[in-house]
Amino acid sequence: MSKFNLPAITRNFTLAIALSSASIMPAFAQETKENVIARINGVEVTDRELALAEVDLLEQFAKAPAEQRRAMILNALLDIKVLALAAEEAGLANEANFKAQMAFNRARALHNNYFQSNALNVITEEEMKKRYDIEVKSIPIQPEVRARHILVEKEEDAKAIIVELDGGADFAELAKTKSTGPSGPQGGDLGYFGRGQMVPEFETAVFDLEKGAYTKEPVKSQFGYHVIYKEDQRDSQPPTFEAVQGQIRQALAREKYFKLTQDARAKFKVEIIDEDLKAKLDELQSQ
């Protein structure tokens, strides 16, 4: 259940901004009183601003000692504030580039807040479980096997191992001492897997085996020579809700996001003036 049946996505980049920014945006209750933590030229700096700075600068200070991180981010915020005052004095706030940047930042912040309020925050566990049930029913049931193998470089070594198995040797113990594969220390255990997950020669051999049997001839593949033991065969098992609830939440968020954008584009008139860009956008959206 690694994929969900979702409508075609033509604005993944926009959604990525929303998911990465809105999902980690600090939440403040409206009635919460903001605490003043510093002043610059008499202008208050609040814990709300510090919380926003923590989100924005978290990656930069991720390796800082936990007990010092908040103070370090406050120091960075104060640097930002004093240089902003210097920029104001220099008249940079009146420049066209700055005004365009501020307009974009304001639009992006409003976009993210709207997405969080009307998509992320309204997804319930009941809705996710309902979607999970629908997805599980759509997953085709396929046979899967649990197997062990012993991998060696030479065919004669594989044949010698089969002779030992014929004599009653324990497969897992032989794998621990003789297998050159990464699963050797685990007794050659490969866990459960379905068709298409192993190289063709290995897959054919293991699915042809009876449960509890091992290959009587070495199986050659690009990795060497295998001796394979089939422990079990069963129908494929769906993942648990807990294992995929993050994917389900993201799938629902995508659907809600595109519903929000489609409704907004229907409500507000959008015109593309640049004909070349309009043609490229039309091509992109038709894919």
Inform me whether the pLDDT recorded for 99 exceeds 50: yes
- 250 and 111 share a domain? yes
Residue at 6 is within a domain: no
Q: Which domain holds residue 230?
A: 143-235
Share of the chain above pLDDT 70, in %: 89
Indicate whether 17 and 72 sit together in one domain. Answer: yes
Q: What is the domain count for the chain?
A: 2
Whether 40 is in a domain gets the answer yes
User: Based on the domain organization, do 81 and 222 belong to the same domain?
Assistant: no
Query: pLDDT value at position 13?
Result: 41
Boundary-marking domain end, from 212, 235, 258: 235
268 in a structural domain = yes
Asked if residue 201 belongs to a domain, the reply is: yes
Residues 227 and 248 in one domain: no
Confirm whether 206 is domain-assigned.
Answer: yes
Confidence tier at 7 by pLDDT (50, 70, 90): very low
| pLDDT, average across residues 235-242 | 92
Structural domain includes residue 17? yes
Alpha-carbon distance of 261 to 258, in angstroms, equals: 5
Task: Indicate whether 16 pLDDT > 80.
Answer: no
User: For 99-128, what is the mean pLDDT?
Assistant: 95
Q: What is the CATH number of the domain that holds 191?
A: 3.10.50.40
Q: How far, in Å, CA of 164 to CA of 145, rounded? A: 24
Whether residue 119 is found in the same domain as residue 259: yes
- Burial environment of residue 14 by CB neighbours within 10 A (0 to 12, 13 to 18, 19 or more): middle
Burial 56-75 (b: 16+ CB within 10 A, else e): ebeeebeeeeeeebbeebbe
Confidence band for 21, pLDDT divided at 50, 70 and 90: very low
For residue 61, pLDDT beyond 70: yes
User: How far from 126 is each of 241, 250, 257, CA to CA, in Å?
Assistant: 12, 15, 19
In this predicted model, what pLDDT tens digit does every residue of 207-223 receive, in sequence order?
A: 999 999 999 999 999 99
Confidence of residue 14 (pLDDT cuts 50, 70, 90): very low
Q: Are residues 20 and 110 in the same domain?
A: yes
Q: Residue 91 falls within a domain, yes or no?
A: yes
Q: Is 122 found in the same domain as 20?
A: yes
Cα separations in angstroms, 87 against 42, 52, 80, 195: 18, 21, 10, 63
The verdict on 57 and 128 lying in the same domain is yes
For residue 285, what pLDDT band results from cuts at 50, 70 and 90? Answer: confident
Least confident of 11-15, 18-22, 179-183, 262-266: 11-15
Q: What's the predicted TM-score (pTM) here?
A: 0.64
Residues 39 and 126 in one domain: yes
Q: What is the mean pLDDT of the chain?
A: 89
Assess contact for 40 and 78: CB atoms under 8 A.
Answer: yes
Strand, coil or helix: 48: helix
State the pLDDT at residue 23: 46
Q: Tell whether 169 and 96 lie within a shared domain.
A: no
pLDDT (tens digit per residue) in 124-156: 999 999 999 999 989 899 999 999 999 999 999
205 close to 219: Cβ distance less than 8 angstroms: yes
Report the DSSP beta bridge partners of residue 219.
226
Same domain, residue pair 21 and 103: yes
For residue 33, the model assigns a pLDDT of 62
Q: Hey, what's the torsion of the CAs at 170, 172, 178, 180, to 10 degrees?
A: 160
Closest CA to 71 of 54, 46, 52: 54
Q: What is the pLDDT of residue 8?
A: 35
User: Residue 4: inside a domain, yes or no?
Assistant: no
Residues 97 and 227 in one domain: no
**Of the listed ranges 30-39, 75-84, 158-167, 225-234, the one predicted with least confidence:** 30-39
Closest by alpha carbon to 217, among 168, 166, 159, 171? 159
Residue 1 has pLDDT above 50, yes or no: no
What local confidence, expressed as pLDDT, does residue 109 receive?
92
